Amino acid sequence: MGVAIIGASMTKFGQRDAWLQSLLAQAGEECLDDAGVTPADVEHLYVSNMASGEFEGQTGVMNALAHDLGVLPAYSERVDQTSSSGGAGIYEAWQSVASGASEMTLLVGGEKMTHKTTGQATDIIASITHPAEYKHGVTLPSFAGMTARHYLERFDAPRESLARVAVKNHKNGVDNPKAQFQKEITMEKALESPIIADPLRLYDFCPITDGSAALLFTTEERAKELTDEYAVVSGIGGATDTHVVHERDDPTIMGGVVDSSEAAYEMAGIGPDDLDVAELHDMFTILEFLQLEGIGVAEQGTAWELATDGTTQKDGELPINTSGGLKSKGHPLGASGVAQGVEIYEQLVGEAGPRQVEAETGLACNVGGFGNCVITTIMEAR
Amino acid sequence: MSMDAHRCPNGHVTYPGHTLCPTCGEEQTETIDLSELTGEVVTWTTSTATPPGVREPNTLAFVEFDVDGEAVRALGQVTTDEIETGDEVEPVYVEELRDPEVGLKAGESDQEWDGYRFSPTQ
């Protein structure tokens, strides 16, 4: 059964006073409004969230949201796949409609993080690691530092190419009123910012963020009745890589990206050359390169050239992270994969405003952990 | 204390161990103590933004060991921030790699806190 997306919304990302429950409710309500669908029509509700229990001592958030939005007695479920919870939510929502189990599925992703110190938030995120890794105080940023060093040394890539990713995504974020940062940065600022995980500096990392995003899924048949403009999920794939990061044969290959994108391309019947726009999980600048290579847009060790020659700029051949990416839009863990879907949807139905590019086919790649779990979604305009 | 890599009957080696070999699905039946070997730094970083209870800065490395011709890697803290890719290092025992009383896993029984740091041999 063809699965369509007919509504999208996101709250302002950034430092928010609101707690998770009300952030989710805000995005959920706006998404239903966007599609002109009433709460009573919702049959399944999925809430993508990594760690509400650890961040704010609140569990059962899918139940809270179902009650707050008045979608009872809809089936509800919380989806946790760490940073790729949002992408996993897209997968669940797609499955629910494709299988015929639900004709109207609301997906809301969210996280509330900024009330914790950076150290506490880093520790919560680092708790996804194997105990043999955790005891060494490893953090996701330190995995990024080790991977970036290996990439730069092995492929003789210039350090500046990573800064270009940050500069590009900040530039894109200026046009996104929902982004945490709507501020351009210079190469100098990126390259002279404090070291966080050598060779990576502050501007190679996404911020800590509160926020929520939502998408509404239905059958293509129903979508045609409800609206003229919608997108379809034409391909989707999910894959899992090693839990222990150092056990991967090649630190520069994200196996989950390769496997999930291959599955998504196969389902959609397209290849990397057919993409018009993509949202990649730039939690760290180096990840934009690894994903461009993993989804088959660039050969191994060459994606840095696309940042340097302008290919991935908004006016380039394949615009990457027109939303500003995690880098400038922010990264409220469970919301991020959903927000990637929101951007691709808005690009495909022509609702991206000043960020609009010409696009019929878009891809979103949502990465959990350090590539541990990955969901790749391909959407097409209808 | 030892730093045990685990080997299945087909010769695949992992550190740490798994219930079943990730490569072939056989049970891992043998251990090899990596703390008695030297390894080579594959890549490293010095992290300056560490979680509560972790030393700051925290230099970490991926180190590759050769176990009877099979490459096996480990992640660990490094004793110094004077380190380069390709350096030869040896594991050195440390009682507390991070403060067991602090952080999300404080007091959790399945979390070990001691282990090995990598020290350059020269």
pLDDT tens column, B10-52: 999 999 999 999 999 999 999 999 999 999 999 999 999 999 9
Q: Is the pLDDT of residue B122 over 90?
A: no
- What six digits make up the tokens of A49? 């969230």
Cβ neighbours of B73 in A, within 8 Å: 246-247
Distance from CA of A142 to the nearest CA of B (A): 6
Domain chopping of chain A, boundaries: 3-116+209-231, 136-206+237-381
Q: Is the pLDDT of residue A362 over 90?
A: yes
A196–B75 C-beta distance less than 8 A: no
The architecture that CATH gives domain A3-116+209-231 is 3-Layer(aba) Sandwich (3.40)
In angstroms, the Cα distances linking A270 to A273, A342, A345, A377, B72 are 8, 21, 18, 12, 38
Do domains A3-116+209-231 and A136-206+237-381 share one topology? The answer is yes
A146–B111 C-beta distance less than 8 A: no
Q: Is the pLDDT of residue A1 over 80?
A: no
DSSP code, position A127: T
Q: Is the pLDDT of residue A177 over 80?
A: yes
A interface mutation test: which of B73, B75, B110, B112 has the most A CBs within 10 A? B75
A196–B47 C-beta distance less than 8 A: yes
Distance from CA of B27 to the nearest CA of A (A): 17
Task: Quote the pLDDT of residue A20.
Answer: 98
Cβ neighbours of A129 in B, within 8 Å: none
Q: Is the pLDDT of residue A285 over 80?
A: yes
Q: Is the pLDDT of residue A197 over 90?
A: yes
Pairing of strands B13-14, B4-7: antiparallel
Q: How far is Cα A160 from Cα B33, in angstroms, rounded to an integer?
A: 41
ipTM for the predicted complex comes to 0.97
Report the pLDDT averaged over residues A223-235.
Answer: 97
Signed CA dihedral, A325, A331, A332, A335: sign only: positive
B45–A149 C-beta distance less than 8 A: yes
Task: Quote the pLDDT of residue A329.
Answer: 98
Which of B14, B43, B76 faces A149 most closely, judged by CB atoms? B43
Instruction: Look up tokens 């490293």; give the residue.
Output: B44
Fold designation for A136-206+237-381? Peroxisomal Thiolase; Chain A, domain 1 (3.40.47)
> Residues A56-75: pLDDT tens digits?
999 999 999 999 999 999 99
Report the pLDDT averaged over residues B1-12.
Answer: 96
Confidence of residue B109 (pLDDT cuts 50, 70, 90): confident
Task: Quote the pLDDT of residue B77.
Answer: 98
> Residues A24-58: pLDDT tens digits?
999 999 999 999 999 999 999 999 999 999 999 99
A119–B75 C-beta distance less than 8 A: no
A244–B43 C-beta distance less than 8 A: no
Interacting residues of A174 by C-beta distance below 8 A, sequence separation 6+? A182, A183, A184, A324
Confidence of residue B110 (pLDDT cuts 50, 70, 90): confident
Q: Is the pLDDT of residue A308 over 90?
A: yes
Distance from CA of B6 to the nearest CA of A (A): 12
Which of A54, A136, A196 faces B104 most closely, judged by CB atoms? A54
Cβ neighbours of A208 in B, within 8 Å: none
Report the pLDDT averaged over residues A352-365.
Answer: 98
Task: Quote the pLDDT of residue B107.
Answer: 83
Q: What are phi and psi of A337, to 5 degrees?
A: -65, -35
pTM value?
0.97
Instruction: Look up tokens 């011709």; give the residue.
Output: B69
Task: Quote the pLDDT of residue A268.
Answer: 98
Q: List the single residue in A with minimal CA-CA distance to B116.
A: A136
- What six digits make up the tokens of A277? 């726009």
Task: Quote the pLDDT of residue B108.
Answer: 74
Separate counts of helices (H) and strands (E) for chain B? 0, 8
Report the pLDDT averaged over residues A138-163.
Answer: 98
> Residues B46-100: pLDDT tens digits?
999 999 999 999 999 999 999 999 999 999 999 999 999 999 999 999 999 999 9
Percent of chain A residues past pLDDT 90, beyond the cut: 100
A120 has a chain B CB within 8 A of its CB: yes
Which helix (DSSP H) or strand (DSSP E) does residue A64 occupy? Answer: helix A61-69
Burial class of A171 by CB neighbour count within 10 A (0 to 12, 13 to 18, 19+): middle
Signed CA dihedral, B108, B114, B115, B117: sign only: positive
Cβ neighbours of B46 in A, within 8 Å: 145, 195, 197-198
Taking a C-beta distance cutoff of 8 angstroms, is the pair A335, A350 a contact? no
